[in-house]
Structure 1
Amino acid sequence: MKAFNLRVYGLLINDAEEILLSDEQEYGMQFTKFPGGGLEYGEGLIDGLKREFVEECDVKIDVLSHYYTTDFFVKSAFNDSQIISIYYLVKNVTPLNLVFKTTPFDFDGEGDVLQAFRWKKLSELIDGDFTFPTDQYVAKLLINSI
């Protein structure tokens, strides 16, 4: 039996109508996605998303509403599992104290696992800003809603 990989992501939009993007380097490749990640065994979706934001962004969030759940087949780029991603609209309840970049993949330091964050104006967002098919689909949904 093939494995399922549950992923949970947050769509964080600031007052300037910009959305937070995460540029990452891991497994020998670079990719851009929405902040979030894998659900751990025993976690609920909301708890997993809140944990991911604390781990990645050192920020506490409130979940405002469900946005999208994968409704087509997506095979993982990293292993032989099927990806199911759940996206939520979120807002930060503590300040975002990150160094925001303006250029994709502008990492500080070196190593096998790197991450940098940047804001992208919703009005300038394109599905090509993202690496993975589900993020690209969610970007299209966002673009069509503005």
Structure 2
Amino acid sequence: MYNFNVRVYGLLINDNNEILLSDEQEYGHRFIKFPGGGLEYGEGLIDGLKREFVEECFAEVEVLSHFYTTDFFVKSAFNDSQILSVYYIVKNIEPLDLSFKVIPYDFDELSDIMQAFRWVKLSELTEDDVTFPTDKRVVRMLMEERK
């Protein structure tokens, strides 16, 4: 039997028209994605997204609108589950208190699980800036909006 893995992500765009990306490494796998992660059992999408931002970014966010939900088959890169991802436009309630990086994978410490954050100008964002197929689709949609 195959399982579903529900993921929820926030598209956080600052006043400089930059979007927040998360560089991550877990157990030897490196990837770049939007902030967010897996929904926990018993949790709604928006509650899950808010929890993920508190856990990852130490920040509370307000969800402004739905942006995209996966509409094609995506197999997990880590197991045999099918990925369903939901993306929301969010804004931070308070200023973010993070150490922002400039280059990908610039981690402050070495461990089994590492994460760093970067702002990327929307005008310079490309599909190559993210790793996973649904994130690439979202980048294409963001690029279309800019036209």
Task: Give the structure-2-normalised TM-score.
Answer: 0.98
Q: Which amino acid aligns with 1:135?
A: D
Extract unaligned runs of 5+ from structure 2: none
Counterpart Cα distance in 2 of 1:86 and 1:131: 16
Counterpart Cα distance in 2 of 1:124 and 1:95: 23
**Could you report, residue by residue, the CA deviation over 1:63-110 in whole angstroms, capped at 9, with x for unpaired residues?**
000000000000000000000000000000022000000000000011
Structure 1 segments of 4+ aligned residues over 2 angstroms from their partners? none
Counterpart Cα distance in 2 of 1:143 and 1:64: 19
Residues 67-78 of structure 1 correspond to what in structure 2 (within 5 A)? 67-78=67-78
Counterpart Cα distance in 2 of 1:43 and 1:127: 30
Task: Give the structure-1-normalised TM-score.
Answer: 0.99
Report the counterpart of residue 91 of structure 2 in structure 1: 91
Report the counterpart of residue 144 of structure 1 in structure 2: 144
Extract unaligned runs of 5+ from structure 1: none
**Could you report, residue by residue, the CA deviation over 1:90-139 in whole angstroms, capped at 9, with x for unpaired residues?**
00002200000000000001111000000000000001101100000100
How far does residue 35 in structure 1 lie from its aligned partner after superposition?
A: 0.1
- Other structure's SS at 2:73 match: coil
How far does residue 27 in structure 1 lie from its aligned partner after superposition?
A: 2.9
- Other structure's SS at 2:142 match: helix
Residues paired across the two proteins, number: 146
Percentage identity across paired residues of the two chains: 71
Counterpart Cα distance in 1 of 2:21 and 2:143: 15
Report the counterpart of residue 61 of structure 1 in structure 2: 61
Report the counterpart of residue 126 of structure 1 in structure 2: 126
- Other structure's SS at 1:139 match: helix
